[in-house]
Amino acid sequence: MQPQTLQPYIGRFAPSPTGPLHAGSLFAALASYLDAKANNGQWLLRIEDVDTLRNVEGACEMIIQSLRNHGLDWDGDIFYQADKNVYYQAGLDQLANQSQVYYCDCTRAKLREYPGPYPGFCRQKKRVAYADASAHTPASHAIRFHCGEQQYSFNDRVLGPQSFNMQTFGDCILKRRDSLFAYQLAVVIDDAAQAITHVVRGADLLESTVWQIALQQSLNLPPVKYAHLPVITLDNSAQKLSKQTGAAALNDQCANKNLQRALQQLNQPLPLSPEQLPIKAIITWAIEHWDIERIREK
């Protein structure tokens, strides 16, 4: 069992309502929950529904129900992104005032010829110009973050020291051509709005973390501690278990089994005869025995 920290801890689980909870998302939800609770922290639930085109009807309710059925109860009210555009716009305005954004009218067809980081075609062209994309529907341009070529380093609690040069990633989109705010901007504004101190999530988001740290620093927002979990793959395949790869919805009737499997995948010990325990007892036991270091040892 890890020593309990005295620092305030506010963690979160931030699913996108693009489908029901599956084994990969339970893994991330459970890890972030146990880490928060083992550190006497709060665990908040944020529904990342900013990309309204990808939201699936009923998915949000299914995710919420599945979390409840697996004994993962969040603190406070559920936070929804869909009604937070005014805050995302304020963040964008701040970056624009700092001349850190620019219009980009590169078409998808053009960018397909340049796989890899965005080559910065529009960077010089319209660096300072800025206007609300939503004035045109669909907007004639996206708005990109001018990231520069800075080196960003952070100590990941699972993966250890990480260091990336922004050049490898290119300038990310903050507001899309279709006028929707992009995930990178929304998540940074939301983490600050919810006073998140610790993020525990899948390593498939490691690259996003670099953009997010760059955005936090540019917006003068407090830093967050990160822990990136190994990505759960489908049996006999290198494919990440995700809604996109057709991961099956969790069967809530098998919550006990699902939790056992997720704990094993997190390299955490199991109580004796877990199948005979109520869900809440497994969760309490798992909080008491949680050790994030064990994930790295796997």
15 binds ligand GLU (CB under 6 A): yes
Tell which positions 205-224 bind ligand GLU, by CB under 6 A.
205
Would you tell me the crossing angle of helices 255-265 and 279-289 to the nearest 10 degrees?
10
Alpha-carbon distance 5 to 197, whole Å?
13
CA distances from 121 to 36, 100, 126, 131, 170 (A): 43, 15, 10, 19, 11
Amino acid sitting at position 219: L
CA distance 221 to 194: 12
Q: Does 45 bind ligand GLU (CB under 6 A)?
A: no
Closer to ligand GLU by Cβ: residue 14 or 101: 14
User: Does 187 help bind ligand GLU (rule: CB under 6 A)?
Assistant: yes
241 binds ligand GLU (CB under 6 A): no
- Find the part of the chain contacting ligand GLU (CB under 6 A) among 11-19, 56-64, 85-93, 271-279: 11-19
Count of positions (residues) in the chain? 298
Closest distance between ligand GLU and the C-beta of residue 201, in Å?
Answer: 4
Establish if 60 lies at the interface with ligand GLU (CB under 6 A): no
Task: Give the C-alpha separation, 90 to 84, whole Å.
Answer: 10
Residue 184 makes contact with ligand GLU by CB under 6 A: no
> Could you say which of 9, 10, 11, 14 contacts ligand GLU (CB under 6 A)?
14
Piece in contact with ligand GLU (CB under 6 A), picked from 13-21, 112-120, 125-133, 213-221: 13-21
Residue type at 141 in one-letter notation: H
Closer of 70 and 201 to ligand GLU (Cβ): 201
Quick check: 22 binds ligand GLU (CB under 6 A)? no
C-alpha torsion 143→116→51→142, nearest 10: 20
Residues that bind ligand GLU (CB under 6 A): 14-16, 48, 187, 201, 205
